[in-house]
Structure formats: structure tokens, C-alpha cells
Chains A and B, each alone.
Chain A
Amino acid sequence: MPKVTIDHQVYEFEGRPKALQFCLDHGIELPHFCYHPAMSIPANCRECLIEVGMPAIDRETRQPKLDKDGNPVIRFMPKLMTSCSQDLADGMVIRTHRTSEKVARAQQDTLEFLLINHPLDCPICDQAGHCPLQIQAYKYGPEGSRFEFRKVRKPKHIKLGPRVMLDGERCINCTRCVRFTDEISKSRQLTIIERGVRNYPITPPGVTFDDPYSMNVIDICPVGALTSIDFRFKARIWEMSSAPSITTTNAKGSNCHYWVKDNLVLRITARPNAAVNDYWLPDEDRLDYHRFNENRPDGPRIDGRPATWDEAYARAAEVLRSVPGEGILFLGSAHATVEDNYLLTKLAKALGADVPRYIPHVEPGHGDGWLRTDDRTPNAEGCRRLGIEPVDEAMIRAKMEAGEIKAVYALEDDPVAAGLFSAEALANVPVILHPYHTTNETLPVTDVALPAAMVVETVGTYVNCDGHAQRVRPAKAIRDVNRTLVLEMDKGRPDKHGTPFDRWHHEDHQVNCRPSWVSLPAVAQKAGHPMPYKGPKYIMAELARTDPAFSGATYEAMGLSGVRLESVGEAV
């Protein structure tokens, strides 16, 4: 296998990797700005310079020249090379800043240049704290500045489009944003204008940067030049915590981070996952956080009146016991996790009811063949794999009219708003509901409301449209103290909990809801059908062991990037 020597250490490589990516993959950090693994390589920031040498070849023998110790003579290129664009070759010798003064100095020089016209307004910049320029300037940059002139003035506060704001002065011209719209989203809505030090990215005349993926440029901008109009100035990065999870606006399950301050979700950013969304996230996924913070319920209710959780569970069990099992309509939910839906099927079975059905939420034309799908729910595939099929609306309504449905148990959905039943139709049957919001249109006809934790508050598994099973983790705290949730959100760490660095202690923002994997077993217990699970992890372990549709999908295996499940049955 071909070999390359980096800072005296020999590595083997395959194919034709670029030096920078190879170093990053092998734990060698090289400063860089313009390089992005998903896009073309312009090598324009000139920060990633390295020394590159090749064995000298004897003209006559065509063999490598050897020095008196028998080692190959290395001929270094006179110029420093950009590692991002440098192909590795067999026998190549590379010196990074760790072994070369020349390289360290060059990296420092480029940073000095980058900073002379940069505003250095970090104290008011949203990027501060996670800014590649700030971080790398501290690590590799010069101390102080030799620049004694007025910085270049460029346009600021430019709304490139409805969601992205530009500060031209902060831009370091890496062209990542332009390349994103050229090569990834293909909207071609950005270009660099002006020349030299006056350069900045902007939309062509008459064009608005309304690319449905526009906000990705905020993530990839290595400085605070591009900020989210929605999030600007709301929080400093060090005041927030982030939880690795997935978005739930559609069936793709794009990987994300939920950012929380004062126990409110304020921002959603992309989390790389080559098997799902690469580095990207649609704008609608990023802006889908208000529903986690607003119109949330304040605990369980019986007939619209506040109750304790125990009272509500008892009442629900009473309802279930009061009607024949086959008369109960169980509605699963493509919004809910696999674990919650699985428990629901168990309860239905224990009571002798039909297998639950779920209400599909499909919006034809919404999908784009990329990270947006027609299906506006995150777990239809998970439901299907559990044997939960979409409701046959006509059949169900006929049953309702015929009085065959004696009670409705609905997980995390809104049958009235979804148009499955009218409120009048439900008025005469007892309804048990696990709602997310106080605006749920089924609530007025609900007998027992058991507010459910949302994706940002729970632990569980979703299966995306491609059969990729992924875990979610709690990003914000609920009112209840739940050991599983506490452990999953790292709340046990004393440096995080109960200190000013605690992002979750804001009591007003702690919703009095419970994961359905807490409520369902509680109801089942009181209805006389105990479910002996210690938590969602054990539910998935059982499914992974016993159900081929979930084979291998343990929490350990899913980790942060998920597990691709075997395909089963015909596609929906």
C-alpha cells in the first residue's frame, strides 16, 4: 500500500486522498477555512499550507537517490502547498506546523492578513465562541496586529433573503456560501461581487436568497458574516447547550442539534450524517422549534379540568375497562417514537382491540427528492414496521356512525384537526389523548388528556423513509424528574446542573408533560395489564431481538448516526 510520511510518522493510504482531509481523518489538526469536504476545492484562504517533498529520483538509474545512511533523499517543493488541494502520492513527505517553522509562520501570516480587515467585533457577534476564525486565530495566529490603518468598509446588515443576514465586513471571502448555492442546493442565488478587499457575497440583481436550504450557509460560514435573521442576538453560544437529535418536519429524519437556553429551544443546526443528510438541513427544519416552546400543556386533565397524573391514569384505565376491548379504537402516531407506538400495540392487544392504526399526514408536492418529503411525519416507516397501518378513514367513520367504536385512545396526534372525525362525532365516545399542545382541536372532546413529551424532551427511536433507525435525546427538561431523561441529557454532571451554566432550570419553561413510554405503562398497570419495561432502551432491545423489522436497532448500535434496517415487506 502506498505510504506518506507526515511529521516523521508513516501512514498508509488508499486511493487519492487530499492531504488536508487525510490529516483530519488521522487526528492531525490543520487550520483551514475555505475547504469543505462536500464541496469543490478553491484553495483560496491559503491557511492550510504545508511543506511537501518527494523522494529525489536519480536520472540514470530511475531509482530513488539515497543519502549516506541509506535513506531516500527528499526534495521539498520550493513553495508551500495548500494541503486541501494536495493529492497524496507514494513516498511523499509532509511537514505541518508541528515540525516546520516555515509552515507555522505561514499559517500565522495568513491569519494576520485575515484579521487586518476583520471587524473583531466578537463581543457582539453571534459566531463568537464557535467561530473557526476566532478559534484558529487564538491557536495559530499572531499576537497583536501590525496593522495601523482604517479597516475596509463594506455593506452590513444586508438581508440576502428572508432568513439570512449578511455582514460584509466580517466575510473572509472563503466562497463556501457561493459554492453551496452553486454545487449543493443548485439555486445559484449567491455570487461574489466587487474585487479584491472589497469582495463580498450577494444575490444577483432582482434575486432574493429564498433557497429552501438557504440557512445552511450560516452553518458553513467560518465567521459571523452570515447570521440567522430568526436567531440573531437571541443567545450567546456559551449560554446554550445542544443535544444531538433529529428533526421531525418530515420523514427524512435529518440529523440536527437542538440548542437550548433557559429550557427553551432557540435554534436548530445541522449535524453531519453521511447516511441521511450529509451536512445539510432544510430551512423549514431549522425554524421548526416554536412548537416546542409554545402552547404547551400544564399537566393532565380530566374532562378539561386539571388533575394529578395518578388521577388521570386511573380515569383512563377506568375508561378502558368500561368498554369491551374490541370497541376501543387505538390510534398510533407517526409523530411518536417506535417505543411509544410499540407499547400502544401491546396495550391494544392486551385489551383485545384491533391493531392500532395511524393518521397519515401527507402533503403531495412538498417533497423535493432531497431532504424534504411529502410525508410530514417522522415515523410512518416505524409505524409500518410495527404493523401499524394508515387508517382507512371511510371504514373507521362508518364504524363510528354504526356505534361500533365505544372509546378512542389516540397517541400524539389530533384526529379532529386531521379531519378523521368531527368534534361532534367524538362528543359521545370517551376519548383518551396524549396531546403535545393546548391548541389540539381534539382536546375539547377529550375525557382524559395525558400531555406527551415532544421529540426534544424524550428518548426514543424514529425510522426514516429510507429505513434508517435513529435515536433522539432530550434537549430540554420536563417538569417531572425522570431518571432515564436525566441521564440521557447529561444533567447528572454537577458542573452543568444547578449552576448558572445549567440551561434547563427555568421552571416556567418546564412543561408538565410525560413521555408516552411513562404514561402508557402507567395506564396499562391500572387497567390490569402491567408492562414490565425499565425504559425505552429496553423496549428497543426487545424489538431488536424479537422483531426482524427492527433487527440490530439497539441503542448501542444506533449511537449518534443510526442503523440502516433490513427492508421488510412491500414499501408503503
Chain B
Amino acid sequence: MEATNGAPQTKAGDWRSYERVLLPPVRDLHKIDVYEQHGGYEALREALTSDRWDPKSVTDEVKASGLRGRGGAGFPTGLKWSFMPPVDPDVPRFLCCNGDESEPGTFKDRQLMEYNPHLVFEGMLLACYAISAKAGYLYVRGEYADWISHMERELENAYAKGYVGENIMGSGFSCELIIHKGAGAYICGEESSLMESLEGKRAYPRIKPPFPAQRGIWGYPTTINNVETLACVPLILRRGGAWYAKIGAQRHPGPVLYGISGHVNRPGVYEYPTGMLISDLIYEVAGGMRGGKKLKAVVPGGSSTPILRADMIDGVTMDAETLRDAGSMMGTGGMLVMDEDTDIVSWLRRVTHFYHHESCGQCTPCREGAGWLENIVTRIDEGEGRLRDLDLLIDLCSQMEGRTVCALADAAAWPVRYTVTRFRDEFEARCRPSLVAAG
């Protein structure tokens, strides 16, 4: 084995023998018959028809599993469900499944939509049951046009078989699922903005409170979860929360779809437990660095999560607590790997361009700050930077972070703050030499 920059032992246990559950190696699993043959919709049947389950016990089982959201923030899913207010027959309630997937470096939900769409539907139905919602929206990134029609087709099949719609499997529980084509902006993935978009409005995030459980879609109680989060739910019901809780890192358990991209030999989406060593993911799972180059940096969970230098990943595993201690975040598990030839300033320039382009423009610090950050990083990248620009960048990050309606401003500031501080020498070297002395 090559140098791994990390200890070989992982919290994920013996990950080499891990058997995939979200994306099991089953041919044509997206077809409803195949899905049924492999235990599909059994968890739903159980939950809806057996005395063992009621909405509360389903929620409790999800709580027991320790499942945490896969949309980026890692919020405990069962706890989120329990925020829904008591059922009032006159007040509609909604589930929303977030398939907007737009964070650079993130492409794992698409895999589920393509290869295991019924698992997503089943998860949505179970969540609807648990929160007593009669309708669930699946909001899919608009650019995923092919996957939308693919899922529409499969949803029709699920309707035809009576898994969705009126009186599901004779249980008396009725639930509609609606696939909604997204409006083509990164911000539509932010939960409150997604709801505005779903309502046909401009996707401006809402101020919180009120939270979605209090006032969500059309102003009614709503729970919103990521596609991968909900796909875990049928598995939890089928095999038990205790089974799930034992997979991977104790405080952040379960299977994760790691989307590995960048300078590795085999980029792709890989299903493994949480708590995998970053080095294992790079050198074992993704086949090592392309061309045998040295690792320079890793962005562990989508472009907004703080970048880690190669020397910072020793023993670091992919779970919220460990990554926090290491100075980053789990995010979406979309890992960007960069080799020694990477121009980190150019990389940051591209990232700042993205957030500048995607700021919805509602709040001042994000709207103005994101563009200014790009301006400065671009100038540095083009060799026209001043040394004082580096301090200005950090200052602007402080002026943006935590001062806006949604977290996009933070997502725009973090890459700048951490790339500049962790690769400061490269930025300094790029600033115009003649002006270095003057500052």
C-alpha cells in the first residue's frame, strides 16, 4: 500500500467486507418487479398494516437508528420529524424530499434516483406516514431532466401497484407523491427557498423562525429531508434501528454515498459506512492518486466545506465529530481530491465564481460580498493581487458569515477563509511581487 497520510485503522470497521444496501449490486433494481423481489415495499407494508407500527413507533425507530441528514447539515432525522406539531385534521401537512443536489462536488442523490428510485419513494411514503402527511413532494434539480422522466415512469408503476395513492395496500393510509422539476438555481436546494420555488415563487429563502415544521409549504407544517436521508428509512424499518446504528461511526452512523471526484484514478459514487478514513477513500476506494501524484488537499463534503491540507488528514475519518475536530465538515460527503499540481488560487477562483453566480441576491452581505470575494481572488489569480487583499478577504468573510437569511453566505465565505488561511503562502506568492513590500 502507498503512503496513505493516515493510519490504516478506520472507525468503519472492516469496510472491505461491507455489503451495499442503498445501492446494492442488483441488476435493474430501478424496475419495480426487481425491487419487490429484493424486499422492496415490504417495510412500507409492515408499517402500514402491522400492529407493531404506528407513526410514533416509526419515528422512534428512526431516532434509534441515529440517522442524520445527508443534505449537508447532519441534523438528526427522527428528531426533525418529531418537531411536527400535533395532527390537526383541518391542517394539511407535507413532506418534502430535497433532490436539488447542486453543491459542486456532489452527485450522489442522482445515483439513487437512477438505480434505486423505489427506495426513495418508499422512504418518502414511510416518512409521510410517520409525520402524518398525505402528500410528499420530490423536488429534483431541473438539470436532471432525464432522471426526472425516469422517476416519473417508475412512480407511475408504483401508483399502478397501489403503493402510492388512495388507501395504500388496503391500510386506509393515503398518500400522493409529486415529482417537481426544480427551477435551476443552487439556492433552490436551501430548504425554505425550495418551498418558495415549489409554490411557484422566486426562490428567496425565508427567514427562520418560523421553521418548516411550523410553516412550510403553502404555510403548512412540513418536514424536509434529503433524498439519501429518506432512502435510509426503509432499510431502518426492514432491519431495525439498532442494525443501522451499528454501521460506521457511532455518533454519525449508517451507510453513506461518498461522491469522490478530482485527481483520483477512479472517481465515482461509492457506498460505504460513515467514519471511513479519508485516506482509505482516496487510496483504496478511489484507486489512489492519478498518475501517482502526491495529494495536496481534500475538500471533504462539497465545495463549501473547509479545505484540508494533505498533512491535516492523518487519521481523519468521515463523520461529523471527527471532521469538526479536524477543522472541516461532513457536508454532503462529496469529496474533492486535489493533487500536487493543483493551482489552489485558481481553484478558489472557480469556487468563488460559483457562489457569486448562485447567491440569490436577497441579503446584502451575500449579494455584495460573494461578488467582491470573486473580484479579489480573480485579481490575485491573475497576478495583480496586493498582499493586503488577503487580509481583506478574511475580513469580508467575517462580514458575511452568520449575518444572512440562509447559509449560502457562509458557504461562500468558508472556502475563502480556509483556503486563504491554509494555503496562505501560495496566495502570498501570487500577489504582485513589486507590491509585496508596500503591502
| Shortest Cβ distance from residue B229 to the other chain A in the assembled complex, whole angstroms | 26
Q: Is B349 an interface residue (CB 8 A)?
A: no
Complex Cα spacing A520 to B362, Å: 60
Distance from A281 Cβ to chain B, minimum over Cβ atoms (Å)? 28
A109 at the interface (CB under 8 A from B): yes
Chain B neighbourhood of A194, CB < 8 A: 361
Contacts of A41 on B, CB cut-off 8 Å? 207
The answer to whether B399 and A192 touch across the interface, beta carbons within 8 angstroms, is no
Instruction: From B357, B364, B369, B379, give the contact of A172 (CB < 8 A).
Output: B364
> Which among B185, B364, B379, B402 is the interface contact of A195 at CB below 8 angstroms?
B185
Closest chain-A Cβ to B364's Cβ sits at a distance in Å of 5
Task: Determine how close the nearest CB of chain A comes to the CB of B370; give it in whole angstroms.
Answer: 7
Chain A, residues 176-195, CB within 8 Å of chain B (1/0): the string is 00000000000000011011
Which residues of B sit under 8 angstroms from A175, Cβ to Cβ?
A: 362
Among A46, A172, A192, the residue within 8 A (CB) of B202 is A192
* Chain A residues within an 8 Å CB radius of B185: 195
B361 touches A195 (CB 8 A): yes
> Do the beta carbons of B207 and A114 come within 8 Å of each other?
no
Q: Are B371 and A43 in contact (CB under 8 A)?
A: no
A116 to B372, CA, bound (A): 9
**B404: Cβ under 8 A from any A Cβ:** yes
Complex alpha-carbon distance, A113 and B400, angstroms: 10
Whether, in the assembled complex, A78 has its beta carbon less than 8 Å from a beta carbon of chain B, the answer is: yes
Please classify the interface of chain A as helix (H, G, I), strand (E, B), loop, or mixed, using the class held by over half of its residues.
loop
Instruction: Please determine whether B356 and A197 come into contact, CB atoms closer than 8 angstroms.
Output: yes
A98 at the interface (CB under 8 A from B): no
Contact A46 B399 (CB under 8 A): no
Interface residue? A337 (CB, 8 A): no
Which of B207, B368, B404, B405 is A197 in contact with, Cβ under 8 Å?
A: B368
How far, in whole Å, are A197 and B365 apart by their CA atoms in the complex?
11
A79 within 8 A of B: yes
What 0/1 pattern do residues 171 to 202 of B give for CB contact below 8 A with A?
A: 00000000000000101000000000000001
Q: How far is the CB of B233 from chain A (nearest CB, A)?
A: 32
Q: Which of A44, A149, A196 has the most CB of B within 10 A?
A: A196
Contacts of A192 in B (CB 8 A): 202, 361
CB distance from B28 to the nearest CB of A (A): 40
Q: Does the CB pair B360–A195 fall under 8 Å?
A: yes
Most central of B364, B372, B375 by chain A CB within 10 Å: B364
Residues of A within 8 A of B368 (CB): 113-114, 116-117, 197
Q: Contacts A149-B372, A192-B202 given: A114-B361 contact, CB under 8 Å?
A: no
Using known A-B contacts A196-B356, A196-B360, determine if residue A43 contacts B202 with beta carbons closer than 8 Å. no
- Please measure, in the bound complex, the distance between the C-alpha atom of A106 and the C-alpha atom of B402, giving whole angstroms: 11
Task: Decide if A44 touches B403 in the complex (CB within 8 Å).
Answer: no
From B356, B357, B404, contact of A46 by CB (8 A): B404
B363 within 8 A of A: yes
CB proximity to B under 8 Å, residues A41-57: 41-47, 49
Chain A residues near B375 (CB-CB < 8 A): 149
> Is B364 in contact with A146, judged by CB distance below 8 angstroms?
no
The reply on A147 being an interface residue by CB < 8 A is: yes
Query: CB of A371 within 8 A of chain B?
Result: no
Known contacts: A46-B404, A109-B399, A191-B202. The answer to whether A196 contacts B364 by CB under 8 A is: no
Residues of the A chain whose Cβ atoms lie less than 8 Å from the Cβ of B73:
none
The one of B365, B379, B405 in contact with A109, judged by C-beta atoms closer than 8 angstroms, is: B365
Which chain B residues border A49 with CB–CB below 8 Å? 403
Asked if B372 and A45 make an inter-chain contact with CB atoms under 8 angstroms apart, the answer reads no
B332: Cβ under 8 A from any A Cβ: no
Query: Does A44 contact B372, Cβ atoms closer than 8 Å?
Result: no
Contact: A79 with B367, CB < 8 Å? Answer: no
Contact assessment for B359 and A114 in the assembled complex, using a CB-CB cutoff below 8 Å? no
Contacts of B359 in A (CB 8 A): 195-197
Q: Is residue A422 contacting chain B, with contact meaning CB distance below 8 A? A: no
> Are B371 and A46 touching (Cβ within 8 A)?
no
A42 CA to B375 CA, complexed, in Å? 28
Please give the distance in Å from B21's CB to the nearest CB on chain A. 38
Please give me the residue from chain A that is nearest to B202 by CB atom.
Answer: A192
Interface pair A42/B364, CB less than 8 Å apart: no
Of all chain B residues, the one with the shortest Cβ separation from A111 is B364
B358 within 8 A of A: yes
Checking B360, B369, B379, B402 against A80 with a beta-carbon cut-off of 8 angstroms, the contacting residue is B402
Q: Is the CB of B357 within 8 A of A196?
A: yes
CB distance from A423 to the nearest CB of B (A): 59
Question: Contacts A113-B368, A149-B375, A197-B368 hold; do A42 and B399 have CB atoms under 8 A apart?
Answer: no
Provided the pairs A173-B367, A192-B202, A195-B360 are in contact, do residues A46 and B403 lie with their beta carbons within 8 angstroms?
yes
Q: Which residue of B lies closest to A197 (CB)?
A: B371
In the bound complex, do residue B357 and residue A106 qualify as a contact, i.e. CB atoms below 8 Å apart?
no
CB distance from B374 to the nearest CB of A (A): 9
| Count of A-B contacts judged by CB separation below 8 Å | 92
Q: For residue B187, which residues in chain A have a CB less than 8 angstroms away from its CB? A: 195
Min distance, Cβ A265 to any Cβ of chain B, angstroms? 37
Q: Which residues of chain B from 347 to 388 have any CB-CB distance to chain A below 8 Å in the complex? A: 356-365, 367-372, 375, 379
Query: A42-B362, A85-B207, A149-B372 given as contacts; is B392 within 8 A of A196 (CB)?
Result: no
Which residue of chain B lies nearest to A178 when distances are taken between CB atoms in the complex?
B202
- Alpha-carbon separation in the docked complex, A283 to B379 (Å): 48
Contacts of B363 in A (CB 8 A): 44-46
A110 touches B371 (CB 8 A): no
Q: Which of A78, A113, A149, A152 meets B364, CB within 8 Å?
A: A113
Assess the B365–A110 pair: CB atoms within 8 A: yes
Contacts of A43 in B (CB 8 A): 207, 405
For B207, list chain A residues within 8 Å (CB): 41-43, 82, 85
Whether A196 contacts B372 in the complex (CB less than 8 A), given A44-B405, A46-B363, A109-B399, comes out as no
Closest-CB distance, A198 to chain B (whole angstroms) = 7
How does the 8 Å CB contact mask read for A412-424 relative to B, with 1 for contact and 0 for none? 0000000000000
Residue from A45, A49, A197 with most neighbouring chain B CB atoms (10 Å): A197
Does A340 interact with chain B (Cβ within 8 Å)?
no
> With a CB–CB cut-off of 8 A, which chain B residues contact A109?
365, 399, 403
CA distance A243 to B399 in the complex (A): 42
A199 in contact (CB, < 8 A)? yes
Report how far A198 CA is from B368 CA in the complex, Å.
10
Judge if A112 is at the interface, Cβ distance under 8 Å. yes
Closest-by-CB residue of A relative to B399 is A109
Closest A-chain residue to B375, C-beta based?
A: A149
Residues on A with C-beta less than 8 A from B370 are: 196-197
- Closest residue of chain B to A116 (Cβ to Cβ) is B368
Tell me if A44 and B356 are in contact (CB < 8 A): no
The CA of A106 and the CA of B362, in the complex, are separated in Å by 17
A152/B362 in contact, CB under 8 A = no
Are B367 and A78 in contact, with the CB atoms below 8 A?
A: no
Residue of B nearest to A85 (CB): B207
Q: How far is the CA of A401 from the CA of B371 in the complex (A)?
A: 80
Contact indicator A196/B361 (Cβ below 8 Å): yes
Using Cβ atoms and an 8 Å threshold, which residues of chain B touch A172? Answer: 364
Q: Considering the chains assembled together, what is the distance between the CA atoms of A489 and B369 in angstroms? A: 48
In the complex, the chain A residue whose C-beta lies closest to that of B378 is A149
Q: Are B364 and A44 in contact (CB under 8 A)?
A: yes
Contact between A195 and B372, CB atoms less than 8 A apart: no
Could you write out 13 A-B pairs with CB less than 8 Å apart?
A: A42-B207, A46-B365, A49-B403, A113-B367, A146-B392, A149-B375, A175-B362, A196-B357, A196-B359, A197-B359, A197-B368, A197-B370, A198-B361
Closest 9 A/B residue pairs (Cβ): A113-B368, A199-B361, A109-B399, A196-B359, A196-B361, A149-B375, A79-B402, A44-B362, A197-B371
Q: Which residues of A contact B (CB under 8 A)?
A: 41-47, 49, 78-80, 82, 85, 106, 109-110, 112-114, 116-117, 146-147, 149, 152, 172-173, 175, 191-192, 194-199
* Extra pairs beyond A113-B368, A113-B399, A197-B370 (16, CB < 8 Å): A41-B207, A43-B405, A45-B364, A46-B363, A49-B403, A80-B402, A82-B207, A109-B365, A110-B364, A110-B403, A114-B368, A146-B392, A173-B367, A196-B357, A196-B360, A199-B367
